[in-house]
Structure 1
């Protein structure tokens, strides 16, 4: 039995995240792959007005978001063949540290991530999450522009 390469795809709903998702799917046509589609639910404390642009997702909504994401992923990965498997994960916390930590804890072989993130703050910081992941990941990182 062939070992599948474990590819973590960081998804946040941004255009570049969607491009990273598509590039990862292309990689899945080249060899046996297990995808992990990871969404980090950012929790920003309301005591800092400047940073309160949060996602404000209630933890009890995780199951709803996972179900919707699973349905979409099934549709998008339907034509990839039997050598591709995937799971959809969501974690709470700081995006950059959560991505690196998840990759370390789950023996990920490759992280696929967009060059910049979803919000104006992330874009103004020129992909600080991506830069952190590139510099701290335990594996190779493919940055998609």
Structure 2
């Protein structure tokens, strides 16, 4: 029996695989008349290279630019989804552990029943050493998880949504 998904979460990280997952999420949301949540989680571990982030007297212009760029990208994806006739599209931008946010926090907070992610670009050694977000989410999420693989023909640079080519 085919499940009718009502709240779909897709995680965007700028990769071709994430864009494929996004396109599949839009198609599924359209078919099911679902809400679509488009999320980007900036890994807090990466922000450790900026030791003064928690000091208000420090200039955090670079971090603000990164945040603004992520927000702009999410809004571009949202507009694309709305052009596909989706009316309930929400963007989520957070700093934290992508594994925990995507597998646990967001599904609980928004009652997500399907998560879509792009397949990892990591090789076997990298997965062993640092782990794969998609692998972790697939093992720990309380709902169905779909891992999308990129299709070279569809992810050609000229067709990228993130480049506003839609």
Q: Name the residue aligned to 1:62.
A: 67
Mapped to 1, the partners of 2:41 and 2:123 lie a distance apart of 16
**TM-score, reference length from structure 2:** 0.66
Mapped to 2, the partners of 1:122 and 1:21 lie a distance apart of 25
Structure ranking higher in helix proportion: 2
Structure 1 runs of 4+ off > 3 angstroms? Answer: 59-65, 120-123
Structure ranking higher in strand proportion: 1
DSSP 3-state at the match of 1:141: strand
Aligned residues: 130
Deviating more after overlay: 3-12 vs 86-95: 3-12
Q: Name the residue aligned to 2:118.
A: 114
**TM-score, reference length from structure 1:** 0.75
CA deviations 1:41-64 (Å, max 9, x no partner) are 1122239xxxxxxxxx62575356
Unpaired segments ≥5 residues, structure 1: 48-56
CA RMSD in angstroms comes to 2.9
Q: Name the residue aligned to 2:106.
A: 102
The answer to whether structure 1 residue 92 and structure 2 residue 95 are counterparts is yes
Structure of greater Rg: 2
